[in-house]
Amino acid sequence: MPIIGGRQIGVRGLGFQGAGKPSVPTSVSATDVGTARAFNNGAADVTWSAPSSNGAPISSYTVLSSPGGYTATTSSTSVQVTGLQSNTAYTFTVTATNAVGTSDASSASSSITATTVPQAPTIGTATVPATSQTINVAYTAGATGGKTVSTFTATSSPGSITGTGASPIAVSGLTNGTAYTFTVTATNANGTSTASAASNSVTPAVPKPVVTGGTLASDATYYYRTFTGSGTLGVSTATLTADVLRVAGGGGAGFNAGGGGGAGGLLYSSSQSLTVASYTVTIGAGGNGSASGNGSNGNDTVFGALTNATGGGYGSGGLGSSPGGTVVAVAVLVTQVAE
């Protein structure tokens, strides 16, 4: 050890005679750590072989990414570098530091692509389809996080009722009349994104029935389906509730100096409910009077089930004063029909 001013001192005053900065680390490798990593907070596990310390113990290693300049420092020969951008390729170099100084940078590792969970989708508009207890939730997909998105999930609030699929997602099993908002998440092999912002509030409702058959007419209050002969009344999508349901057959003609015509069939019902189905409308006209007697009454119809009408238009003094002709009509009057 050299003598300076009558005293012995160590090299550079540090006590490591002949020491130098470490050699360059070798065998640098990197592995993507994608599982459960948040979008744009990727990670890589980086390992290397320790170099010669060159006389002074190595106190730390520093890993540097390219691109981005993300760093991590450790005293061991492996470390996790975080904060990496999703779906971005990186290489890494390592330096070693001891009391004398810092080594040159190692050779770069092989390139890895940082992956994470997907970016949160962008919420769209939630709408009410023509289906009971269901809402359609639209969204726009975000970035994949570097791995293919396998599932998009819409979740209701309240209730946490879910649906999956492409946009728009149909969420069923909801309660009609309850207001809901929805969020959407995306899932890939690494995990599930954060939730989107909440959608607009929307309330599922019992769909209105669609009615077909006959001739459609309407006024300020009702829709009418009028038949002038037998036919089919179709009800689909939902149960039809009619304020008034009227089925009538025209009266039979009276016979001069003979019997009166029979009454037309008639059904009159308030708040009639028709389930989703098709109904045969058969209209019975009253029979004509004859020289030997009155015409028969027409038949009522209860959508295929025929019954005898009551009442009758009888001739007076054999002059046949009942309604003449065989004009027939049936009308369905409703307030909630989607026409």
Which tokens go with 76? 């061991």
- Nearest Cα to 89, choosing from 71, 110, 111? 111
Q: What is the CA radius of gyration of the chain?
A: 43
Given CA atoms 79, 83, 85, 91 in this order, what sign does their dihedral have? negative
Report the pLDDT value the prediction gives residue 218, as an integer from 0 to 100.
Answer: 74
Please name the residues in contact with 246: beta carbons below 8 A apart, sequence gap of 6 or more. 266, 267, 268, 269, 330, 331, 332, 333
> What residue ranges of the chain are covered by domains with CATH 2.60.40.10?
3-114
Please name the residues in contact with 131: beta carbons below 8 A apart, sequence gap of 6 or more. 170, 172, 207
Which tokens go with 2? 């050299």
How far is residue 241's CA from residue 43's CA, in Å, rounded to a whole number?
A: 62
103, 97 in Cβ contact below 8 A?
A: yes
pLDDT along the chain (339 residues), means of 10: 44 64 98 97 98 96 98 98 98 98 98 98 94 93 98 98 98 95 98 98 85 78 70 78 56 48 47 70 57 56 46 37 39 51
* CATH 2.40.50 applies to domain 122-192: no
Report the pLDDT value the prediction gives residue 3, as an integer from 0 to 100.
Answer: 43
Count of residues for the chain? 339
- Nearest Cα to 293, choosing from 328, 326, 322? 322
The CATH superfamily holding the domain 3-114 is: Immunoglobulins (2.60.40.10)
How far is residue 223's CA from residue 219's CA, in Å, rounded to a whole number?
A: 7
How far is residue 125's CA from residue 175's CA, in Å, rounded to a whole number?
A: 19
Which uninterrupted H or E stretch holds 306? strand 305-308
How far is residue 129's CA from residue 122's CA, in Å, rounded to a whole number?
A: 21
Please name the residues in contact with 207: beta carbons below 8 A apart, sequence gap of 6 or more. 130, 131, 132, 237, 238, 338
How far is residue 299's CA from residue 124's CA, in Å, rounded to a whole number?
A: 56
- Nearest Cα to 37, choosing from 119, 98, 97? 119
Report which residue type is found at 4. I
Report the pLDDT value the prediction gives residue 132, as an integer from 0 to 100.
Answer: 79
